[in-house]
Structure 1
Amino acid sequence: MNRTTTRRTATVIVSALTLASALTACSQKSGDSSSSSSSGGAAKAKVAFLMPDEASTRYEEHDRPGFVAEMKKKCPDCSVLYNNANGDASKQQQQFNSALAQGAKVIVLDPVDSTAAASLVQAAHAQNVKVIAYDRPVSKAKADYYVSFDNEKIGKLISASLVQKLKKGKIPAGSGVLEVNGSPTDVAAGLIKKGIHEGLAGSGVKTLAEYDTPEWDPAKAQTWVSGQISRFGTKIVGVVAANDGTGGGAIAAFKAAGVDPVPPVTGNDATVAGLQLIVAGDQYNTINKPSEIVAAAAADVSVQFLNGEKPTAQTTLFDTPSQLFDPTVITQDNLKAEIVDKGVLKAGDLCTTAYAAACAKLGIS
């Protein structure tokens, strides 16, 4: 073989190798594109789930497990960064900043302080991170989405239900109800409060006094109600409490004062403790709003954001695309049908030894 032939052969080999390399590279790029398309932008992404307090047992018992479970279904490779601020806005800010530092692409935020949370939303948006307001809206900044039960409707339902109860009997002249609202830094509490006012308006039932409970703390609610019992005595014919925790605090105040029977008290969240008080006849109503429903919706919206999709909105609240779920009032009349028969709680979880006899009277076993 002469030198010319050798050079030609080498040129052919190099060209073939170059073409093969190029085809391999194209094939690899095509494969990467296909993989990215099938998994979307969600693969191995981090999503933060930041809850506001531990005074409401629902966050640890229902919201967190519900969110984690749905994320595992929708995005098995995603990581959930969970934290609870325990009622401390400064602590929540640190948790929020930590989520950003860890590379969270979506942050689901139930704010301790709905107004102060505006700066958190702005910080996230500066890093192209989506924020889903959860349960409590962010009023001073536009989050990317808001998911919750309809808080204003909750307030209206529990107060209207109490009015109906009171009107079945005689309401003495000069008597009225106490109103125990939620935290003054919680915009959702403000919506519940607005709904309570709507439910009482024009009812003929007087509001003797009302109180905004810091951090939704049951102990603070109990202390305030104790003072009102000393002030108004038997003029108190009912209490509109914004959740089961504050309602439980109110009931504890009446029992400590030796009031028997306890006047009807409302609640919200359908906690085990609240439902047991209803079974026992100490609490009149609560609101069934399975947190797992909202948690699952938040997980679904999170994955849509990770995949670059635009979630559809049912309505708009505080200039934010929103999805609001309808709550259900629970009293002794429908507790078995709505809570036990529908599997929200097992009879055994509700009817512990102290409540077994009361459950039996309601046909719950």
Structure 2
Amino acid sequence: MNTSLRRTVVATAAVSMALGMAACGKAGSTSTASSSSSSSAGTSAAAGGSIGLLLPENQTTRYEKFDKPLIEAKIKALAPSANIIYDNAAGSATTQAQQVTSMINQGVKVLILDAQDSAAIKTSVQAAVAKGIKVIAYDRLAQGPVSAYVSFDNVKVGELQGQGLLDALGAKATPSAKIVEIDGDSADPNAADFKKGFQTAVAGKVNIAYDASGLWKPDVAAQKAAAAITQLGAKNIAGFYSANDGMAAGIVTSMKNAGLSSLPIGGQDAQLDAIQRIISGTQSYTVYKAYKPEAEAAATLAVALLNGQPAVTTIATSTKTSGSGDNVPSDLLTPVLVTKANVESTVVADGLYTASDICTSAYAAACTAAGIK
């Protein structure tokens, strides 16, 4: 396991164990937890109270495959009597606002919220807090009076993306080298952090000749990349930047159609398909943000707040200022750059994927060449 990542996991686990002992002493004597969707969560909550979990969208694979089950499992481990109420906004800020209202009406005591639109959700956060609900901003910093924020150092993510692109370009990284930059959705404050970090890392070293938002959607990113290729000319482009792996998949298609598959491109999130592209040589890098320590830190905070424990400053040891000007206690974890050279020592060693997950028949030869087994 990467050294910095190991420190993050160990530190989070240690805090979780300490809070777990305290939480279980209060909540562990009643019935087991139940997990339900918002459509069926009208049943009475267990004695430990209800924790709401709202995630922003389902186009990115991480939320349903990793974040949701990891958060739920940790909450159940720390507070077996807690009821977990879950919903996903499916990319709609309006839907998420309605979901917050539903959570308020169902009497949740703590809400873990990954905002689809950090500004638009502000009034919903205010309404929840007015009802005595503690709100934890997860992965994206929602505006309004949230109690804590759990995410990664997102400027650092952008810096790693920039470094990954420069490394992939090698000697071709010159001030005149034209780069196509496809950013995330401006409604997500993380997108601005990724962009800031990336542009800081590459400033004066390459020329960002085209910059547009892909809205976190692969099809939109593909369209923007195709427009950039038409505008700049395929032969004049040195590389591409994608703010995440989902959009990178769409961009890679546009690159292939233009005969540019050999050019550098990177993303983030360490999606399985991105790891496979890295192994096969059609994507240069990704940034691995380990889901488990992030999810478990949020769950640990939620249980502590559910039980009235003043644990925010124990876990959230830094501060982040939101778009609404609120200074929010924050737990910012460390991201890791992943290339073909360290796939095995990062995502495989951490158990995110097995070698067999990555090395399907289409990628078997590439895995053998990369030493992944």
Instruction: Specify the TM-score bucket, using the shorter chain as the normaliser.
Output: 0.7 to 0.9
2:229 and 2:237 in contact (8 A); partners too = yes
| 1:214-235 CA distance string (max 9 Å, x none) | 2x10100000001111122122
Instruction: Work out the CA distance in 1 between the residues paired with 2:286 and 2:329.
Output: 28
Which of residues 152, 157, 167 is equivalent to 2:155? 152
SS at match of 2:266: coil
Which of residues 357, 360, 363 is equivalent to 2:365? 357
Which of residues 136, 143, 146 is equivalent to 2:146? 143
| 1:221-263 CA distance string (max 9 Å, x none) | 00000111112212211111111011111111111223342x1
2:288 and 2:338 in contact (8 A); partners too = yes
Match of 1:317 in 2: 320
Match of 2:16 in 1: none
| 1:141-192 CA distance string (max 9 Å, x none) | 23110000111110011112211321x2335784311111111110111111
- 1:13-162 alignment, distance < 5 Å: 38-39=26-27, 43-138=47-142, 140-162=143-165
**Which stretches in structure 2 are left out of the alignment for 5+ residues?**
1-23, 31-45, 322-326
| 1:278-327 CA distance string (max 9 Å, x none) | 01100011011121221111110001101111221211101100000000
SS at match of 1:223: helix
Which of residues 351, 356, 361 is equivalent to 1:343? 351
Match of 1:256 in 2: 257
Taking structure 1 as reference, are residues 329 and 173 closer, same or farther at Cα in structure 2, changes over 3 Å only?
closer
Match of 2:276 in 1: 276
Task: Give the counterpart letter for 1:144 in structure 2.
Answer: S
Match of 2:34 in 1: none
SS at match of 1:97: helix
2:27 and 2:82 in contact (8 A); partners too = no
Taking structure 1 as reference, are residues 65 and 46 closer, same or farther at Cα in structure 2, changes over 3 Å only?
same
State the Cα RMSD in Å.
1.9
Taking structure 1 as reference, are residues 103 and 174 closer, same or farther at Cα in structure 2, changes over 3 Å only?
same
* Number of residue equivalences: 326
Instruction: Work out the CA distance in 1 between the residues paired with 2:55 and 2:270.
Output: 18
SS at match of 1:333: helix
- Check if 1:170 corresponds to 2:172: yes
1:218 and 1:249 in contact (8 A); partners too = yes
**Which stretches in structure 1 are left out of the alignment for 5+ residues?**
1-35
SS at match of 2:144: coil
SS at match of 2:240: strand
How much does 1:43 deviate? 4.1
Q: Give every structure 1 segment of 4 or more consecutive aligned residues whose post-TM-superposition deviation is greater than 6 Å.
A: none
Instruction: Work out the CA distance in 2 between the residues paired with 1:38 and 1:173.
Output: 60
Task: Give the counterpart letter for 2:26 in structure 1.
Answer: S
Match of 1:329 in 2: 337
Paired-residue identity, %? 37
